Amino acid sequence: MGTGTKCIGQNKMRKTGDILNDSHAEIVARRSFQRYLLHQLWLAASRQQCIFSPGTETGKWKLKPNVVFIFFSSHTPCGDASIFPISEPENQLSKLVTGGHAGGQSAECRSNHNHLCAEDKRKSGKMASNHILKRMKTYDGGCFSIITEDLAVQHESVKLQGNTSQKSCERSAEMQTANKETGLVRPKLVDVHRTGAKCVPGELGDARTPGLGYHSVGLLRVKPGRGDRTCSMSCSDKLARWNVLGCQGALLMHFLQYPVYLSAVIVGKCPYSQEAMRRAVIERCQHISSLPDGFLTQEVKLLQSDLQFEHSHQAIQEVQTNSKTKLVPCSAAISWSAVPEQPLDVTSDGFRQGTTKKGIGSHQSRSKICKVELFHQFQKLVTSISREDLPDTLRMKTLKTYWDYKEAALNYQEAWRVLRSQALLGWVKNAKEYLHFT
């Protein structure tokens, strides 16, 4: 599990691997997951009960059948997945049309934007006598439905068009006059949800024109910093990478016969677009070819839940509608991992909470999920296994630094090279000097 909203700027990055560069919740959760996988691999090597079974290659393991991992995020990932149109009716008080909206609309509804589907007609009639109003925003696959005060069900189809370098959101149709019998209208699209993530240096940028043309979509982005630019790619971009390379990372790939993929990504109740999520996480990398054996472009399930995180910015705003107090995100990040020793880890500004300036650099200042701590746990796993039982890639005596061990995961590095060259061009990589620690 992970919580967090902060990133450190590039001037605060350290060559010792003892600081968390990216403390967004999705990244903290993934690093917590890597810590869990490390512990499970230690159990496997010790012949104890775990999630792995022996692979066909020496020293390699694979997930047991029916072991799957589902990624839940309380909010849409920052970056490309967060860019989709806002329409005027979103500012009205509305009641959610349930049934098929949490995980994608029915094919019938998606294929016919101009008419009410049977489910919507049934609910419209049922709710006519139940005039309860509630704020609601929901998107799915370019078509959303709302029931407003006059119970008019409204649909809008959002079409994404563009060439290989740039896409923009365009209205699919002009505003139509409400149908007297059904109350069907096409709401006017007035703007897009905006992301704070900035386009990577040297690549195409956002047009920043007012309204729908403010952002370009499908582009790689880095997370914003407070004055000092970060080197952390957006959560949308990292999810796209994990969907091809797996969530285990380069180090753990030494011990795994296949990457550890997510079966589903579920986003909680918040502004959401199925089309934007699919574009950001799957479609940008769908065309790549020549990946090494075991790696593939996953068709991960993308779903939305109707559960709202009770401590989210949106949830608190709804409760404190009359408050003039400015809501400020918590500066701390929380990590929890299903491991026996110190499962809980709380950090602030990349170090364990409570670290003073004088304490920076000490062992006590390190998060359990920072690079150097995960690397040391990995090294302990390696040394606990006899040389003849190690995978081939770990039998080289020349491996010393974090960089050495990562580069020695040959299949993973080849897959990453293919992915960067064919889909994620412009990815901001950390300089080698930040990875040469021991």
How do residues 410-430 score in pLDDT, each as one tens digit?
999 999 999 999 999 999 999
Q: Which residue has the higher pLDDT, 350 or 145?
A: 350
Tell me, what's the pLDDT at 321?
76
- Buried b or exposed e, range 58-86, using 16+ CB within 10 angstroms: ebbbbbeeeeeeebebbbbbbbbbbbbbb
What is the pLDDT averaged over residues 321-330?
80
Task: Report the distance separating Cα 428 and Cα 434, nearest Å.
Answer: 13
Assess whether pLDDT exceeds 80 at residue 333: yes
User: Would the CA dihedral through 278, 283, 285, 291 be positive or negative?
Assistant: positive
Residue 228: what pLDDT? 86
Asked whether residue 323 carries a pLDDT value surpassing 70, the answer given is yes
**Averaged pLDDT, 11-32:** 97
**Residue 361 in 3-state DSSP?**
coil
Residues whose CB is less than 8 angstroms from the CB of residue 329 and which lie 6 or more positions away in sequence, other chains included: 5, 6, 313
* Cα 370 from Cα 165, distance rounded (Å): 35
Please provide the average confidence, as pLDDT, over all residues in the chain: 82
How many Cβ atoms sit within 10 Å of the Cβ of residue 347? 27
Which of 143-157, 164-178, 287-301 is the most confident on average?
287-301
The answer to whether residue 170 is catalytic is no
- The pLDDT score that the predictor gives to residue 154 is 31
Comparison of pLDDT for 27 and 136, the residue scoring more:
27
58 has pLDDT over 50: yes
Averaged pLDDT, 229-254: 97
Model confidence at 316, pLDDT cuts 50, 70, 90, reads: confident
Q: How confident is the model at residue 179 (pLDDT cuts 50, 70, 90)?
A: very low
Give the pLDDT score at 187: 64
pLDDT band at 183 (very low <50, low <70, confident <90, very high): low
Selected residue with higher pLDDT from 90 and 164 = 90
Q: Tens digits of per-residue pLDDT, 358-397?
A: 999 999 999 999 999 999 999 999 999 999 999 999 997 7
> DSSP label at 91?
G
Residue keyed to tokens 């496997």: 44
Q: What per-residue confidence (pLDDT) applies to 89?
A: 54
How many secondary structure helices (H) and strands (E) does the chain include? 10, 19
Q: Which residue has the higher pLDDT, 299 or 188?
A: 299
CA 304 to chain centre: 13
70: pLDDT strictly greater than 80: yes
pLDDT at res. 331: 86
Mean of the pLDDT values across residues 223-245? 94
Q: Is the pLDDT of residue 347 over 50?
A: yes
- % of the chain with per-residue pLDDT over 90: 65
